Amino acid sequence: MKKIPQFNLKSRDLIPISQANIKVDINPAHISKINTAANFVKSIKESNQPVYGINTGFGALAGVVLDKNKLIRLQENLIYSHSVGSGLNLPKEIVRTAMFLRANMLSKAHSGVRPILIRTLLTMLNKDMIPAVPETGSVGASGDLSPLAFIARTLLGFGQVYYKNKIIDAKDGLKLIGLRPFKLELKEGLALINGTDVMSASGALTLNMTEYLAKLADIGAAMSIVALQAKTTPFDMRLMKLKPHPGQMTVAKNLIKLLQGYRTTGKKVQDAYSLRCIPQFAGATREGINFAKQIIETEINSISDNPIIVNKPNSKTKFDIVSGGNFHGQAIALALDTLGIALNTMGITSERRLFRLLDDKLSGLSPFLVENPGVNSGLMMLQVLAAALIAENKVLVHPASIQSVPTSASQEDFVSMGMTAANKCRRILDNTLTIIAIELICARQAIELAKYPIPKLLNKFYQPISKRIPYITDDRLFQDDIINMKNLINDAKFQKIVEHEIL
């Protein structure tokens, strides 16, 4: 049982949450602090002072001060009116993670909600009852208002949820897990939706897979080096130290380690950039990943809400409630745009290597890596698929973070489009994973076709690939090979080997 709040989350800490492999509860030691903040919010009801989102309208309606008897209805209406979205539903893994992140943030007692609200959200999470949330609808301005509202409305008994591999009405689902539709109090509707948790959840899970894929890309590059009999001298650490970008040095170390014992028979003075400059461009990809990681991990540990309860030193009231902009998603939007660019670079350079493997004039091997070309097309179409994915990625990497469209009668006159960045980054990730899978298939075929010896450590990865992808003697349904390769990439045991051996 994981206790919240957690204050130093890493993106990898969210993996068991996303996979429903751990249960969560509030730390009992924190209950008093949560209650104190909730009581402070309650005291505002008796005040004549306008406080945003508690006794006023929202967004451009912030100037509308409401009667005391309308304050609960205000919170309910907020959830109803903001539950608008479009498109396919987000993967359940992202929604689970977003639910956890919101509960974790609320439990830090800066939002003024009651413990029972947090526990209701956690009960749904622990029972793996996951709201159905459309992927489009957030502009990342006051956080992820739309997708978080779709989560929040299920607590109230509206909308649909995934439960035991079915989609059912939320009201029926709540009954099945022993809950009744939740009754909101002051600020609780706003506190449920006014944050960056959905884009952060999507970003963190994409980041985790991207970090792994960067390591796998080094393995694919090493296999292509063997298959193309390229030189290893460009990875000399004496060169790396003269341009000591951390990512570049890490990639060079991986290649040297993977290729230990390898001796090329190639006669070229220099290899093409896609082989010779692997540390430079794969290293730059690592730098982009690290930039995104710093921002994402800061965000998942932050207070993302508005208004926010803060301490008031030397005062009888002890607290202030401050309205600001901590809900804004610009940092996440920029991080995910950068992560998408890093993934795109990873995919482009992988495709350039697999292209060389298939061209007999560049590889010195049989055309399209098949023994009887002509009657057999070989792996020709795998490169065509990679080219299509590269073209799509090049469109998708256009930054979302510069696409502001003012909303809410220009009260929200600069928005982040962070959820757009998150959604397209997931697509770029999947495309890039497929491209790297294709490089691994091609490199594996080339090495056996040419009967090149495999360095010892590299063979540790070559062997499981060979078991999944048998040697190609004649054309077959190569789509099955792509699926099998992607399944291997996603296999937990294979991932563990990669993570253990590669920096």
DSSP state of 165: T
Neighbours of 430 (CB within 10 A): 14
Is 52 an active-site residue? yes
Neighbours of 175 (CB within 10 A): 13
Alpha helices in 304-379, H assignment, sequence order: 330-358, 360-363
**Rounded CA gap, 326 and 306, in Å?**
7
**Rounded CA gap, 359 and 366, in Å?**
8
Residue 269 structure tokens: 């003075």
**Rounded CA gap, 118 and 100, in Å?**
10
**Rounded CA gap, 500 and 55, in Å?**
54
Residue 23 structure tokens: 């249960």
Buried b (16+ CB within 10 A) or exposed e, 183-220: ebbbbbbbbbbbbbbbbbbbbbbbbbbbbbbbbbbbbb
Residue 28 structure tokens: 């009992």
Residue 15 structure tokens: 């993996």
Helix axes 246-258, 197-227, angle to 10 degrees: 40
Q: Is 410 exposed, middle or buried (0-12, 13-18, 19+ CB in 10 A)?
A: exposed
Q: Is 351 exposed, middle or buried (0-12, 13-18, 19+ CB in 10 A)?
A: buried
Residue 415 structure tokens: 């928005």
**Catalytic option among 52, 163, 262, 462:** 52
**Rounded CA gap, 176 and 193, in Å?**
25
249 and 283 Cβ atoms separated by less than 8 Å: yes
Q: Phi and psi (nearest 5°) for 278?
A: -55, -45
Residue 96 makes CB contacts below 8 A (sequence gap 6+) with 17, 18, 20, 125, 128, 130
Three-state secondary structure call for residue 323: coil
**Rounded CA gap, 245 and 279, in Å?**
10
Residue 177 structure tokens: 């897990």
Buried b (16+ CB within 10 A) or exposed e, 126-139: bbebbbbbbbebbb
- The full DSSP string for 413-461 is -S---HHHHHHHHHHHHHHHHHHHHHHHHHHHHHHHHHT----HHHHHH
- Catalytic residue positions, numbered: 52
